[in-house]
Structures are given as structure tokens and as C-alpha cells.
């Protein structure tokens, strides 16, 4: 599960269309061919009232350029799970995140910062189910169904 909390000044993501487009780009990064179920991706847009968000000692609401802070949590897939060296996995992840935010943040010239944390998969459930292993037959079923469904955790996955 990638969880994206997008903290932004109130002059960013003002329309539903902007939010929808950003959420789609983020979801597409994770759920493309060979990816995870799209319903794993959660994106929260959190508008910060003027004077409540700081970058250093400066209120970001006083900056000339809008500011966006993305706090991203990965639970489903970690860098160590990818078929490459850890350093390459991190570069690939950062490149994918940059691509996901290009249209909604980078191309608009906003100031931004993001950080990614990786949380233990063992403390994660979706709709009451322990998610199946990545790329397993059970996960393919979840992708096909578009939701969490019962599966035999003891079967060969």
C-alpha cells in the first residue's frame, strides 16, 4: 500500500479535476502492468491554512511560489523486494515518483519536497484481509476483482 499524504498551501489543488489527475498519475505509477492492485493506492490532499505550515522559519503561505510536501509510505513493496541492488531500487522509485508528480507539481513550478518511508508489511490489512504476496495468483485475483476477496493463504501462491 502506498499512502500519499500531500500537504499543500491552499492555492494548490483547488479543483477536483486537479486532484483527480494527480491521484490518477500516482495510481498509474504503482498499478501499471505487473503492478499492484489500484485500490492499494491511497492519496490524501491536505490543504494547510495560511500560517500553519513552515519551511524552516518561513511560513510557506508567505512564499511567492506554492509549496507542496509529500509524505509517502510504502507497505506492500519495499526496495529490497525489487530485482535489483537497493541503490538502484531507490533511484528507480524516486524517478517514478518524479514522473507521477510531473504534471501536477513539477511542471507548474511549485516548490516541493517528498520523503518515503517503508513500513512493515506484517502490520497491514486491507478490508480485514492480510494482502496476498506481491505478484502471487491471489494478488492477480485481487487485481481482476478490483477489491480484496478471500483467498487460501496456505495454497501455493
pTM of the model: 0.93
Q: Residues 70-115: pLDDT tens digits?
A: 999 999 999 888 888 999 999 999 999 999 999 999 999 999 999 9
Numbers of helices and strands, H then E, in the chain: 3, 6
- Of 87, 90, 95, 116, nearest to 1 by C-alpha is 116
Q: Within 13 Å of residue 78, how many CA atoms lie on the same side as its CB? A: 8
Phi-psi region of 56 (alpha: psi -120 to 50; beta: other; left: phi over 0): left
Pairwise CA distance, residues 73 & 10, whole Å: 23
Report how far apart, in Å, the C-alpha atoms of 131 and of each of 2, 53, 65 are: 13, 35, 41
- Mean pLDDT for the stretch of residues 136-146: 94
pLDDT at 157 over 70: no
Pairwise CA distance, residues 41 & 2, whole Å: 5
Amino acid at each position: 500500500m502506498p499512502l500519499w499524504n500531500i500537504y499543500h498551501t491552499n492555492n494548490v489543488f483547488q479543483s477536483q479535476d486537479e486532484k483527480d489527475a494527480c491521484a490518477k498519475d500516482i495510481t498509474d505509477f504503482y498499478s501499471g502492468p505487473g503492478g499492484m492492485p489500484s485500490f492499494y493506492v491511497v492519496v490524501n490532499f491536505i490543504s494547510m491554512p495560511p500560517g500553519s505550515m513552515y519551511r524552516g522559519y518561513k511560513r510557506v503561505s508567505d512564499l511567492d511560489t506554492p509549496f507542496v510536501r509529500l509524505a509517502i509510505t510504502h507497505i506492500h513493496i519495499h526496495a529490497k523486494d525489487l530485482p535489483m541492488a537497493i541503490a538502484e531500487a531507490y533511484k528507480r522509485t524516486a524517478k517514478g515518483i518524479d514522473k507521477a508528480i510531473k504534471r501536477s507539481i513539477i511542471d507548474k513550478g511549485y516548490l516541493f519536497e517528498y520523503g518515503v518511508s517503508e513500513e512493515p508489511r506484517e502490520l497491514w490489512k486491507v478490508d480485514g484481509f492480510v494482502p496476498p504476496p506481491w505478484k502471487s495468483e491471489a494478488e492477480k485475483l485481487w487485481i481482476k476483482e478490483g477489491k480484496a476477496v478471500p483467498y487460501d493463504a496456505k495454497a501455493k501462491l
